[in-house]
Amino acid sequence: MLDMLGATFGATLAGCLALVGATGAAVYFFMRRKHNEQQRTISFQQMQTIVTDEIKNVHELITVRKNFKSIISFNDDKKIPLIEVHMPGSDRKFLMDYSGTITCGCDLEAIRFEHNELTNRIKIIVPQSQILDMYADVNSFKVHHQSEGIFADDIKLEQQKEMIMADLEAQRQLALQEGILARADENVRQMLTAIISRRGLNQSFEFEIVFRSNDSTRVLNSSQQNLLR
């Protein structure tokens, strides 16, 4: 008799547990579906707010910083007038090295959004990255050799500065050739993609990130910068 009661009680308990489990699973999937539906029904304006809130405290996002070291070598002499032959004692030699930094990034406040309501597709239009800053570290200047012959003109500080400026421009062109701006653009793309994925926005919209071409601002003019710091 006790065995029968125990079996009946066990069966009843198992049924109750199964019912509770099924009810819990139903509630979980219901809440999950409701959450997903809320995400799918997010508005275009809400999407814009979410993305802009993520980046609102960042005006210029520096995405690539390149530190470099360069050597400046200078050697010249005077020629004897008319015959253009080297004048003894007129040699000038100069050798130094220095460290510098180039930073690139994107003005995130200029990002724009376009919504195609028919396809529910969002186009995020981003200004192309540009060189935001470039300078030579004056504390890193190291002159290894400087000499002037008895008949040579002294190498003045202004001439040294001109040589450094010319070398900075060469470093700028080298960085551009190596694709520093393309790398900066890709970093911005990855950042925006991460925001979209982390906030679940890709469940509501299909996104396309494009970069607006503006070659006139891709590289800041050196005259706008303090190149020696």
Write out the two tokens for 132: 């935001």
The Cα–Cα gap between 114 and 127 comes to: 14
Residue 95: which residues within 8 A CB-CB, separation 6 or more? 71, 72, 73, 74, 143, 144, 145, 146
Given a contact cutoff of 8 angstroms between Cβ atoms, the answer to whether 144 and 95 are in contact is yes
Domain boundaries, the chain: 1-41, 43-224
Residue 2: the pLDDT is 41
DSSP 113-162: EEEETTTTEEEEEEEPPEEEEEEE-GGG-EEEEEEE-TTSPP--HHHHHH
Assessment of whether the complete model's pTM goes beyond 0.75: no
pLDDT tens for the 229 residues of the chain, in order: 545 444 554 555 455 555 545 555 544 454 555 444 444 568 999 999 999 999 887 767 888 999 999 999 988 767 777 777 767 777 888 999 999 999 999 888 889 999 999 999 999 999 999 999 999 999 999 999 888 778 767 878 898 999 999 999 999 999 999 999 999 999 999 999 999 999 999 999 999 999 998 654 455 555 456 888 9
Residue 186: the pLDDT is 95
Q: Using one digit for the tens of pLDDT, what is the confidence trace for 97-133?
A: 999 999 999 888 889 999 999 999 999 999 999 999 9
Residue 107: the pLDDT is 85
Residue 5: the pLDDT is 43
Report CA-CA distances (Å) from 208 to 40, 122, 192, 197, 218: 18, 6, 10, 13, 22
The Cα–Cα gap between 229 and 137 comes to: 5
Given a contact cutoff of 8 angstroms between Cβ atoms, the answer to whether 57 and 97 are in contact is no
